[in-house]
Chain A
Amino acid sequence: MSVDRTTGTAARVVAATGERLRRRPAWLAALYVGNARAVIGRGFRVIRNANWGIIATGFFEPVFYLLAMGVGMGGLVGVVPGPDGRPISYAMYLAPALLATSAMNGAIYDSVHNVFFKLRFGKLYEAMLATSLGPMDVALGEIFMALFRGFLYGIGFLGVLAGMGLVTSWWALAMLPVALLIALGFASLGMAVTSFMKGFQQLDLVPLALLPMFLFSATLYPITVYPGWIQAVIMALPLWHGVELMRQLSVGFFTPLTLVHIGYFVAMSAVGIVVVTLRLRALFLR
């Protein structure tokens, strides 16, 4: 048995890669060869082999929260004022916030923990970058996969909400793309943060940042219970904008602030992606 090294297919592809790269600006050529789909293809192959049970359990978490807090807590709380001022049930108040939070958690887990472990232990990126892939191909592919998982969970959770009668507007369909926008914002920011991480201990700090954001960002109760300066701090943080946006969509009521919420995540994604691009070498080539 011998390896036939003269088929030439590989050589042709190498030449084609070179040709494609020649048409790119020089600064981009060393970062990106336009083959993020290979990284995505790998992701789907992993999902195909993966334990679907685990993927399914990720969907149960927000549902359990909704059941426990919406039903159990709802009995104590009664009704709360909705985005348009009309009273809504506590479960209805809570549901959009849980969707925004699960988009955040999923994106952060994928972009911080997963990326960090693949870097340190799996050495997956080391192998990828030994091929003609550039770091930007890897980053785009990984962000896409994170969003895809978020998309699946989003569909599932939205289905549950509809089944429980917790959405009252067709605008709720827009919660799905908005969940992806929220996930994109957190994923790009998460990768940017990961590029500055040195060790495990810093990884432990992530939940310390996420937990208070979850507890205070108008997820479980309106922020009006707090004095003005605390409200201002909360409003500066991203999750609050995600929660408010989702809540508005769930009933189809909008204000000029809606645009601010969307703008916040667009800007956050843009800043995150720029920082990630600048830090790509630090992120992957170490």
Chain B
Amino acid sequence: MPVIRAADLVKTYGDFDAVAGIAFEVEPGESFGLLGPNGAGKSTTMRMIGGTLLRTAGVLEVLGLDPETHGPEVRASLGVVPQQDNLDEELRARDNLIVYGRYFGLPLSYLKPKADELLEFAQLTEKANAKVSALSGGMKRRLTIARGLVNEPRVLLLDEPTTGLDPQARHILWDRLFRLKEQGVTLVVTTHFMDEAEQLCDRLIVMDHGAIVAEGSPQDLIRRYSSREVVELRFGSDRNAAVAGELRALVDRSEVLPDRVLLYADDGEALLETINRRGLNPLTSLVRRSSLEDVFLRLTGRSLVD
């Protein structure tokens, strides 16, 4: 039985469709991603899964229950890590974990050792008695994730887990999430970073304007919607469009962005050599592997982060 099942799921605000009839299933132990730009409907979907937002129409089952009518039961088995940390600023780090556990009705005899265990997992043991306001962004994020684990959830919902963190803090966090995945926790992750989706997700749906535009594993999506490699060229803001026509003839697919031209090919180096032989002389050039960013560009004609 899937842990989450959505069918024709709709959320409208007035005449705006935040989520416009999506369907997906998440299997136990899977790491499932919702990838899309800001406003695609990812967070809305997450909040409906937790039952803290009422859906407009459609079917939604979490662990076989409807989160709207069985909110407390559903949430008792969920760990929620919201997009913006909502730690209790009036409590210290360790108390945040204990008090949150009390909200689930868990006994103190369980929570006290659990809190220490989770602080260690989040690499925050030294900060146990620190005020929340004294923690760095990365520490707060890890504490929020630790808090989401206090009830040993069957499913952990992570909304934009690393947005706003510096690269080092992101890698620490990914490492922790990877360990959870190894332990068999079902992860549901929203992100607008393709590298994050590639790192964390076994399978993902790509969302845009409240709808699903593609579904599959990261490798699978790249294979289906992009080439093996990508050549990125910059000719200066005035020339990009001018040379685009000539470049287009060289490849099956190309994208002209305001600041650069992307050419999709299986052998990027060979393509770059051809371009140089023709004397097009880009200011800068880069050959890289295809990413989900390219998939998204292909599917929607827009880039993920703008």
- Asked whether any CB of A lies within 8 Å of a CB of B in the complex, the reply is yes
Please tell me if A270 contacts chain B, counting CB pairs below 8 Å.
no
Please tell me if B58 contacts chain A, counting CB pairs below 8 Å.
no
Q: Mark B184-208, 1 if CB is under 8 A from A, else 0.
A: 1100000000000000000000000
B86-A30 in contact (CB<8A): no
A3-B183 in contact (CB<8A): yes
Q: If the complex has contacts A13-B105, A42-B91, A285-B52, are A132 and B75 also in contact, measured as CB distance less than 8 A?
A: yes
A residues neighboring B (CB under 8 Å): 1-5, 7, 9-11, 13-14, 16-18, 21, 26, 29-30, 33, 35, 38-39, 41-42, 45-46, 49-50, 122-124, 126-134, 281, 285
A45-B99 in contact (CB<8A): yes
Please tell me if B16 contacts chain A, counting CB pairs below 8 Å.
no
- Report B-chain residues with C-beta under 8 Å of the C-beta of A123: 82, 84, 86
- Report A-chain residues with C-beta under 8 Å of the C-beta of B95: 45, 49
Count residues on chain B whose CB falls below 8 Å from chain A CBs.
Answer: 46
Report the separation of the CA atoms of residues A93 and B100 in the bound assembly, to the nearest whole angstrom.
47
Report the separation of the CA atoms of residues A113 and B68 in the bound assembly, to the nearest whole angstrom.
29
Q: Mark B88-111, 1 if CB is under 8 A from A, else 0.
A: 111110010001101111110010
Report the separation of the CA atoms of residues A124 and B84 in the bound assembly, to the nearest whole angstrom.
12
- Report A-chain residues with C-beta under 8 Å of the C-beta of B180: 3
Closest chain B residue to A127, Cβ basis:
B86
Q: If the complex has contacts A17-B73, A124-B86, A127-B86, are A38 and B107 also in contact, measured as CB distance less than 8 A?
A: no
Please tell me if B149 contacts chain A, counting CB pairs below 8 Å.
yes
A21-B104 in contact (CB<8A): no
Q: Mark B58-100, 1 if CB is under 8 A from A, else 0.
A: 0000000000111111011110101010111111100100011
Instruction: Indicate which residue in B71, B105, B179 contacts A38 across the interface (CB closer than 8 Å).
Output: B105
Please tell me if B213 contacts chain A, counting CB pairs below 8 Å.
no
Please tell me if B118 contacts chain A, counting CB pairs below 8 Å.
yes
B72-A130 in contact (CB<8A): no
Report the separation of the CA atoms of residues A131 and B106 in the bound assembly, to the nearest whole angstrom.
11
| 14 A–B contacts, CB within 8 A, in A order | A3-B149, A3-B180, A7-B152, A13-B104, A14-B77, A41-B102, A123-B82, A130-B50, A130-B80, A130-B82, A132-B72, A132-B75, A134-B72, A281-B54
Report the separation of the CA atoms of residues A4 and B89 in the bound assembly, to the nearest whole angstrom.
28
B72-A30 in contact (CB<8A): yes
Closest chain A residue to B183, Cβ basis:
A5
Identify 20 new A-B residue pairs, CB closer than 8 A, beyond the known A35-B105, A132-B76, A133-B72. Answer: A3-B179, A3-B180, A4-B117, A5-B152, A10-B104, A11-B152, A21-B70, A26-B69, A30-B69, A30-B72, A42-B91, A42-B99, A49-B91, A126-B82, A127-B82, A127-B86, A127-B88, A129-B75, A130-B78, A130-B80
Instruction: Indicate which residue in A1, A14, A285 contacts B151 across the interface (CB closer than 8 Å).
Output: A14
A1-B121 in contact (CB<8A): yes
A29-B185 in contact (CB<8A): no
Q: If the complex has contacts A3-B121, A42-B99, are A131 and B104 also in contact, measured as CB distance less than 8 A?
A: yes
B70-A35 in contact (CB<8A): no
B87-A127 in contact (CB<8A): yes
Please tell me if B259 contacts chain A, counting CB pairs below 8 Å.
no
B residues neighboring A (CB under 8 Å): 50, 52-54, 68-73, 75-78, 80, 82, 84, 86-92, 95, 99-100, 102-107, 110, 117-118, 120-121, 149, 151-152, 179-180, 183-185
A126-B86 in contact (CB<8A): yes
- Report A-chain residues with C-beta under 8 Å of the C-beta of B76: 13-14, 17-18, 131-132
- Report A-chain residues with C-beta under 8 Å of the C-beta of B84: 123
Report the separation of the CA atoms of residues A21 and B77 in the bound assembly, to the nearest whole angstrom.
15
- Report B-chain residues with C-beta under 8 Å of the C-beta of A133: 72, 103
B100-A131 in contact (CB<8A): yes
Q: If the complex has contacts A3-B117, A45-B99, A49-B90, are A13 and B183 also in contact, measured as CB distance less than 8 A?
A: no
Report the separation of the CA atoms of residues A14 and B110 in the bound assembly, to the nearest whole angstrom.
13
B92-A127 in contact (CB<8A): no
Expressed in whole angstroms, the minimum distance between the Cβ of A146 and any Cβ of chain B is 15
Instruction: Indicate which residue in A2, A29, A124, A129 contacts B52 across the interface (CB closer than 8 Å).
Output: A129
A130-B90 in contact (CB<8A): no
- Report B-chain residues with C-beta under 8 Å of the C-beta of A26: 69
